[in-house]
Amino acid sequence: KRAMVNLGYELEFSATVNTSLDFGYNAFRFEPPNANNQGAGGAGELGSDDLLFEMTTFITPSEQFSALVGGTIYQQNGDIGAGSDYSNGWYSAYAQLDYRPIDQLKLILGGQYNSIEGLESDFVPRVGAVYHLTEKLGAKALWGQSFRAPYAIETSVNIPGVLIGNPDLEAEKLSNLDVQLFYTTSNLELYLTYFDYESANLITQAQASRS
């Protein structure tokens, strides 16, 4: 059983400053199978109630400069088996600046700070540049990192014989480098791309060993 509600509102303070507010509620209920995947497992109805609030402000004082700043509050609550009730708070703040020192060049600088209950705080940056040699020919280089903390279903779930969480999981960390040459017209698009991807602490499922 699922229920989802999403609400959004925009505030326009001036021609150069506006803010978006977003609220989301997600509810999930299920009755897990037993170890043989036959019928209910006796754990009763489990599930979660998640609340997400995000506020982002966009600032565009000129054609040469734009910025955004924002943050999120994410509250997770639920029961995922054998009395494994949980209540976790996730918080983040982020910003990005785009600057054009000349018409042909755009520079990008940004980052996000993450604070997750039970984990060390973390900061992930992003930098980039886009340069147009001509109106049709250009190049870009973008490098950034992303961060994903483990969910309660990955750390605290306790359905014996079906799924057991690992409370010692660390957050995933991904790094991406994207370098591209591009040529575009009204009838043709050509791209030559180099993409490099690195990951650390990827969260996956593993079969438990049997004694």
Residues 6+ apart with CB under 8 A from 119: 149, 170, 171
Q: In what order do the strands lie in the sheet with 172-184?
A: 2-12, 17-30, 46-59, 65-79, 85-102, 105-116, 122-132, 137-148, 172-184, 189-200
DSSP 66-77: EEEEEEEEEEEE
- Residues 169 and 116: beta-carbon distance below 8 Å: no
pTM for the full predicted model? 0.80
- Rounded to an integer, the average pLDDT of 153-164 is 72
What is the predicted pLDDT for the residue at 40? 46
Q: What is the mean pLDDT of residues 52-73?
A: 96
d(CA 151, CA 172): 11
**Tens digits of per-residue pLDDT, 185-207?**
989 999 999 999 998 888 887 77
- Confidence check: pLDDT of 85 > 80: no
- The tens digit of pLDDT for each residue in 23-61 reads 999 998 887 665 554 444 455 677 889 999 999 999 999
Q: How much is the pLDDT for 161?
A: 67
